Structure formats: structure tokens, C-alpha cells
Amino acid sequence: MRVANARKTFLHERTTAIANTHGTVIVEALKVRNMSASAKATAADPGKMVRQKAGLNRAILDQGWGGFRIMLAYKLADRGGRLIEVPAAYTSQTCAECGVVDAASRQSQSRFVCTGCGHEANADTNAAINILKRGLDKSLKPVEGCRSKRPVEAGSIRRAA
């Protein structure tokens, strides 16, 4: 319980700081539930790297990404700002300079070198620029119109019974 409270406090502090200093925030629409799905394994077919996947799932869920998005959305709305989510597909494989999409451009976890134009950048920086460009595209709707599941009240998260 202490860890959960510490996580919640941290998320509230960070989201409040962001909501107080930014009018519009653009984020990737990450599917945390899909990202943290268990590795498919049975007793007969144990699967590959099940323990590593379990550790990754725990790390993803410990970060509280879903709660962060919910808190940020309602705090921005309360202050007159807005949260825009953009599709996450190919943001890390697209060149921010020329727009070429190629998985080979992402040479490592931290290095991006475009196979089309030769543009070099940190992979996370390149992806962030792509997310910003997608978010500034006027044809996208703000998150309030895109999500079907909404919190019942500010700060609450629906949980399966």
C-alpha cells in the first residue's frame, strides 16, 4: 500500500506541475493493457523469455502510465488546457526530417539514423518530434472525444470486479 501511495503522490505532483505550466500536452496513445499482456505459455509449451516478460510487465505497471494520463487529462481540462493523444504506431521508426518509415533506421534503443536522408538523432528525440508533429495536425481530435472509457469522477480509475 505504501508503494501505491508513493506512486499516486508522485503522479499527482508531476501532473499538477505539467498542467500548471502547459496549455496543451501531446502524448502517445499507449495501449498499456496490451503492452503488459502476459507472455503466452503453457506447461506443455513454456514459451520464450516468460520471466523477462513478467519483469517488463511489472515495470510497465509500476510506472502508472494509465493513471498519469487520466490525472493529466482532468487537471488540464480543469485549467482550460487540453490533452491530445496521437497514435503510437511508427513514431519511433519515422524520420522527423523526411518522413521515411523504416524499422532499420532505429539502429539501437537510443540511436536513430534515417535510411532515406541520413538524418541522425537520439531515437527518443526523433520520436518526440514525430509525436509533436502528429499532435499539431489539426485533423486530430482532443482525447476527450477519442476515448470510450472515462473516469467516473476526477481521479478515479475503473477496475475490473
157 pLDDT exceeds 60?
no
64 with 7: CB under 8 angstroms? yes
Radius of gyration of the chain (CA): 18
Count CB-CB contacts under 10 A for residue 86.
21
Average confidence (pLDDT) over 142-158: 43
SS3 96: coil
83 with 75: CB under 8 angstroms? no
> What is each CA distance from 92 to 44, 68, 125, in whole angstroms?
36, 21, 9
Average confidence (pLDDT) over 29-42: 66
pTM, entire model: 0.67
Reported as a single tens digit per residue, the pLDDT across 57-77 is: 666 666 677 888 889 999 999
* pLDDT confidence of residue 107: 83
